[in-house]
């Protein structure tokens, strides 16, 4: 897991000292290579209560795969083979030379979408270089966005083990719809894997993650995002519903998410948040990670948060349709730009 916020602050404070105490060279622990780590992890995924290996192997699901020449290529290929899938793949040379922008966002998956259509695949999987994020392409070659990864995975888990769900503030409302369908609570945490993981531990959540980046966390395995595990759950979901990804998506309400970022001075944030609250009244508010506002049973929401590394503000809006999401985002962006 990542350092928690207080641990990170202590570490930064330590590094900022003029002469921090250093560990003698002979106290530094040696590097230990673990050649069996992936095989142990693979066995753990295959042993999950949520994954019916026999059923999956009998289906022979056809998968189109894009691993962007990252470290996840060999692992994903072996997992899918173990699950009886037929795989057509691109970006499988793990040399770290990315043939495209490595983020598995819809805009970057044109080649995978084409591969799905050309090969008649049942589903397309795209992972990021370190294989903790998973994005989906449906059987028609349409990129589905990363939020449905967590929604589908959560449905598999909750069908077998109902319990609390945790995600971040920037994840789609569709996960709330899944949680509501199984009559379980959903809690939102600040953006960041460590924040979600800590909240999951506190809530004893059975599943969670960051839908905003296709990250699924399954405590039965570990408290970190894991694309191979997520892929196994997605395949199980297709078996559970007896249909393709497009049918899986059609079971839930459709939403549209739009995103923007603008340059904005950090010292002006407090006043900007207050202005947004006053202008966009009638909303449910959350101040744990910037400003989050939600309306109409949370089917429409806006999240405004500062970058941790740049003098910018990120804005994310969701609504039942793109026009509504875009109108909300443009209105909020205009208000912020008026401040500076």
* pLDDT (tens digit per residue) in 311-336: 899 999 999 999 999 999 999 999 99
For the beta carbon of residue 10, count every other beta carbon within 10 angstroms.
12
Query: Is 308 a residue whose pLDDT tops 80?
Result: no
Query: Is 15 a residue whose pLDDT tops 90?
Result: no
250, 266, 297 — which closes off a domain?
A: 250
Specify if 8 maps to a domain. no
Specify if 151 maps to a domain. yes
Is residue 201 domain-shared with residue 265, that is, in the same domain?
no
What's the CATH code of the domain at 269?
3.30.310.50
233, 250, 267 — which closes off a domain?
A: 250
* Helical axes 37-46 vs 72-82, angle rounded to 10°: 40
Q: What is the pLDDT of residue 11?
A: 86
Is residue 230 domain-shared with residue 290, that is, in the same domain?
no
Tell me what the mean pLDDT of segment 28-45 comes to: 94
Q: What is the pLDDT of residue 339?
A: 77
Give residue-wise pLDDT tens across range 207-243: 999 999 999 999 999 999 999 999 999 999 999 999 9
Overall domain count for the chain: 2
Specify if 35 maps to a domain. no
Specify if 16 maps to a domain. no
Q: Which residue has the higher pLDDT, 24 or 140?
A: 140
Is residue 230 domain-shared with residue 289, that is, in the same domain?
no
250, 270, 288 — which closes off a domain?
A: 250
Is residue 158 domain-shared with residue 211, that is, in the same domain?
yes
Q: What is the pLDDT of residue 340?
A: 67
What percent of the chain clears pLDDT 70, i.e. is strictly above it? 99
32 pLDDT band, cuts 50/70/90, is very high
pTM: 0.93
Specify if 10 maps to a domain. no
* Helical axes 72-82 vs 227-241, angle rounded to 10°: 30
Is residue 202 domain-shared with residue 115, that is, in the same domain?
yes
Is residue 224 domain-shared with residue 129, that is, in the same domain?
yes
Specify if 285 maps to a domain. yes
Is residue 116 domain-shared with residue 170, that is, in the same domain?
yes
Give residue-wise pLDDT tens across range 147-181: 999 999 999 999 999 999 999 999 999 999 999 99
Q: What is the pLDDT of residue 25?
A: 86
Specify if 15 maps to a domain. no
Is residue 233 domain-shared with residue 335, that is, in the same domain?
no
Is residue 149 domain-shared with residue 163, that is, in the same domain?
yes
What's the CATH code of the domain at 143?
3.40.120.10
Instruction: Please answer whether residues 90 and 116 qualify as being in contact, where contact means their C-beta atoms are separated by less than 8 angstroms.
Output: no
What is the C-alpha to C-alpha distance for residues 338 and 303, in angstroms, rounded to an integer?
A: 18
What is the C-alpha to C-alpha distance for residues 322 and 330, in angstroms, rounded to an integer?
A: 12
Which of 23-32, 72-81, 91-100 is predicted least confidently? Answer: 23-32
Q: What is the pLDDT of residue 307?
A: 85
Tell me what the mean pLDDT of segment 89-117 comes to: 97
Is residue 71 domain-shared with residue 100, that is, in the same domain?
yes
Query: Is 20 a residue whose pLDDT tops 90?
Result: no
Is residue 56 domain-shared with residue 129, that is, in the same domain?
yes
Is residue 146 domain-shared with residue 54, that is, in the same domain?
yes
Tell me what the mean pLDDT of segment 199-214 comes to: 97
Specify if 5 maps to a domain. no
Give the residue among 4, 78, 2, 89 at the shortest CA–CA distance from 40: 78
Q: What is the pLDDT of residue 9?
A: 85
Query: Is 131 a residue whose pLDDT tops 80?
Result: yes
Q: What is the pLDDT of residue 1?
A: 57
CA dihedral 254, 213, 263, 109 (to 10 degrees): -80
Query: Could you list the residue range(s) of the whole structural domain that residue 312 is in?
Result: 256-339
């Amino acid at each position: 897991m990542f350092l928690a916020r207080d641990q990170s602050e202590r570490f930064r404070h330590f590094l900022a000292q003029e002469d921090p105490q250093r560990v003698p060279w002979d106290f530094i622990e040696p590097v230990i290579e673990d050649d069996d780590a992936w095989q142990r992890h693979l066995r753990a995924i295959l042993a999950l209560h949520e994954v019916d290996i026999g059923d999956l192997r009998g289906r022979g699901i056809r998968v189109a795969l894009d691993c962007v020449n990252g470290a996840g290529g060999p692992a994903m290929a072996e997992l899918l083979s173990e699950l009886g899938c037929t795989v057509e793949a691109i970006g499988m040379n793990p040399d770290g030379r990315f043939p495209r922008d490595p983020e598995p966002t819809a805009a970057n998956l044109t080649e995978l979408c084409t591969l799905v259509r050309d090969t008649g695949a049942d589903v397309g999987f795209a992972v990021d270089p370190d294989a903790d994020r998973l994005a989906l392409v449906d059987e028609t070659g349409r990129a589905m966005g990363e939020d449905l990864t967590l929604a589908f995975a959560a449905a598999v888990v909750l069908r077998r083990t109902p319990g609390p769900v945790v995600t971040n503030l920037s994840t789609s409302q569709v996960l709330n719809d899944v949680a509501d369908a199984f009559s379980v609570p959903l809690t939102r945490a600040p953006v960041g894997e460590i924040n979600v993981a800590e909240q999951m531990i506190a809530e004893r959540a059975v599943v969670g993650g960051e839908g905003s980046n296709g990250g699924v966390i399954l405590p039965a395995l570990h408290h970190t995002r894991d694309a191979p595990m997520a892929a196994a759950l997605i395949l199980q979901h297709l078996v559970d519903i007896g249909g393709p990804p497009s049918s899986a998506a059609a079971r839930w309400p459709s939403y549209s998410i739009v995103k923007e970022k603008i340059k904005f001075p950090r010292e002006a944030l407090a006043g900007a948040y207050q202005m947004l609250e006053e202008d966009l009244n009638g909303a449910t508010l959350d101040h744990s990670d910037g400003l989050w506002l939600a309306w109409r049973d949370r089917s429409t929401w806006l999240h405004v948060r500062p970058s941790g590394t740049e003098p910018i503000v990120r804005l994310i809006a969701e609504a039942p349709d793109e026009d509504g999401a875009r109108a909300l985002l443009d209105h909020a962006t205009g208000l912020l730009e008026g401040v500076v």
